[in-house]
A and B are shown apart, each in its own frame.
Chain A
Amino acid sequence: MMELGRPNLEEFASTLVDLAQENRDLIVVTGDSRGSGKLWPFAKAYPDQIVEIGIAEQNLVGISAGLASTGKRVFAVSPASFLTTRALEQIKNDVAYSDNPVKLVGISAGVSYGALGSTHHSLHDFAALRAINNLDIVAPADNFETREAIKASVSHPRPIYLRFGKKPLHHLHTPDTQFQIGEALTIKAGDDITFVAIGEPVGRALMAAQILEEEGISCRVISMHSLRPFDHATLLDAAHHSRAMVTIEEHSIFGGLGEASAAILLQHGIRLPFKIIGIPDEYTVTGSQFEIFDHYGINATALANTARQLLQAEPVK
């Protein structure tokens, strides 16, 4: 059984506290979101390095762009939904287009807010931001990936969007793992089926793999933590060595990891049984994050079923 870590939010907040010590240029910008972002300890330790904007996400991103333009290392923190929907034009123009390397931090992402409903879910952010030039996108899958992504982002030369949820996640990596933005991490090798996942569902893919391995089905599990830049090589290698592939994301099935992967495979002439698992095109069911995951087949049992069905399907001609 995998060991449970702490919520990525806490990992993020405590990483920032560590980094701010040696980096007095590191500024956190919040919009009535320091509580949601677990940033009270940061605010107490570094009151001069946090700027409160109030509930005003457009203003928050615009001001962050201005701060970053002077060389400050700016983390703009707000719930993923409001940050990437409300302030989309500021992200596109003031951050990405004007090349101000703001670190946009979308907290409580995906369906973390559960029954608070669609206004609070971010199931569109990968799709919207993937289409914006000059903006990297990283969604870490455990505490290690979160810490490494935050650390790497401080001196990252380009604007970047970091996205994670608020539930504790299982540790997925061995201590010797090396993390780099844009380089996928293969957590498990195997050659019957590949699970390519991003963010919180990676742990669930790994559990599905454990079920299937007991049945003699060999599984590869990849954490595609960077949606941009996308690690083509790791995806293509997996496709060459698998009989089928399942992508999993806490996002709409439109415009995210699944469609990005499909486009790459097709344009390399690769066809294999392939399934995109995510939130389908409907009014999302009411429930907690985990009830929503279960409802849409984002759990170990359901993913194992999906994999079996793909492997039994007629081979693609």
Chain B
Amino acid sequence: MPKMTENELKRKSIEYRKTILKIIHHCGAGHTGGSLSCIDILNVLYNAVMNVSPANFEQPDRDRYIQSKGHSVEALYTVLADKGFYPQEALYTLNTYQSHFIGHPTRKVPGIEQNTGALGHGLSIAVGMALASKMDGRSYRVFTLLGDGELTEGSSWEASMTAAHYQLDNLVVIVDRNKLQITGPTEDVIALEPLASKFEAFGFAVRACNGNDIDDLLQTLKAVPFVTGKPNLVIANTIKGKGVSFIENQVNWHHHVPTDDELAQALRELDQVQQTLEVVR
């Protein structure tokens, strides 16, 4: 995999954010806030950490990514297009009649490992895949992304116990800790904290990082396994709607679709950041 500089990765994040907003605007539906909060994580995973590409997608030794918070599919579709799994134009068929690009990850779309969308499934599937990797003596790793609101699904904790029991240090669980769900702040809906010590008690090696900071994500995700014999848990502290001032931390932007004006304003803001990155280059 050609190495990408941190600056290149940062510029990709901006490009991805613009694409996410454009396709959601174009197709009139989508999960804006959660896609913007997790896009830096997907960027680093697909461009700097995981060994997966269209060239090796059929190979048994590829790393695997399961997006348990399936509703943020626009982020995933965007990154997979950039990786060359399908042309960019395909993104603009999102949610349209007879398109394969539905509003949740589906294996009809190249590069998608598993169909998700009902919350609380991804971790169990990932545990199964990581277990198979161990059984077969393979080297591939399994990465899965969970929402923080999603963690109230009990299945996540059932899977966590299993992951620790089978010492799946090839499993990397990332929680998009944007502190919001549909109804409001996670701590008001059903309190999750103390989250790190919960996962530690369940047997994970836990690390927190800034999930919207490329450098911090690189350092954290390249350090797995954190502890030999323990599954890895990354609490990625993020901002829901990250990157656009009026979308950040706004609960109604969970699935709000940008109007024409909002899109234009958002693209302007992102262009400004992009220009500062060009200068640094």
Contact = CB atoms under 8 A, between A and B. Distances in A.
A116 B117 contact: yes
A285 B120 contact: no
Interface in B94-134: 94-104, 106, 108, 115-120
Interface stretch (A30-38, A159-167, A263-271): A30-38
B154 interface: yes
Contact of A52 (B100, B101, B116, B189): B189
Interface in B263-278: none
A305 to B, nearest CB: 21
A119 B182 CA distance: 18
Contact of A56 (B94, B96, B153, B182): B153
A55 interface: yes
B223 interface: no
Nearest to A85: B118
Nearest to A31: B152
B63 to A, nearest CB: 24
Most buried by B among A33, A54, A283: A54
B113 to A, nearest CB: 15
B97 A55 contact: no
A115 B95 contact: yes
Interface in A266-315: 283, 285-288, 291, 295
B118 A81 contact: yes
A85 B29 CA distance: 25
B211 interface: no
Interface string B146-176: 0001101110000000000000000000000
A86 interface: yes
Given A59-B154, A119-B118, A52 B190 contact: yes
B181 interface: yes
A286 B100 contact: yes
Interface string A76-95: 00000110011000000000
B258 interface: no
A54 B154 contact: no
A119 B120 contact: no
Contact of A117 (B97, B98, B104, B152): B104
A52 B104 CA distance: 25
B173 to A, nearest CB: 17
A53 interface: yes
Which among A34, A36, A119, A120 has the highest number of chain B CB atoms within 10 Å? A119
Contact of A286 (B96, B117, B153, B189): B96
A54 B100 CA distance: 31
Most central of A85, A115, A291 by chain B CB within 10 Å: A115
B33 interface: no
A58 interface: yes
Interface range on chain A (Cβ under 8 Å from partner):
20 to 34
B70 interface: yes
Contact of B190 (A54, A82, A287): A54
B228 interface: no
A115 B152 contact: no
B149 A54 contact: yes
A287 B117 contact: no
B183 interface: yes
B70 A54 contact: no
Given A54-B189, A86-B118, A116-B102, A35 B154 contact: no
A117 B149 contact: no
Interface string B206-228: 00000000000000000000000
Contacts of A285: 97-98
Interface in B74-108: 94-104, 106, 108
Contact of A119 (B96, B100, B104): B104
Nearest to B95: A115
Most chain B CB neighbours (cut-off 10 Å) among A34, A117, A120: A117
Contacts of B117: 116-120
Contacts of A30: 183
A287 B117 CA distance: 16
Given A52-B189, A54-B190, 20 more contacts: A32-B152, A32-B181, A32-B182, A52-B190, A53-B152, A55-B149, A55-B153, A86-B120, A115-B94, A115-B103, A116-B104, A116-B117, A117-B103, A117-B117, A119-B118, A120-B117, A286-B99, A287-B98, A288-B97, A291-B97
Interface of A: 30, 32-36, 52-56, 58-59, 81-82, 85-86, 114-120, 283, 285-288, 291, 295
Interface of B: 29, 70, 94-104, 106, 108, 115-120, 149-150, 152-154, 181-183, 189-190
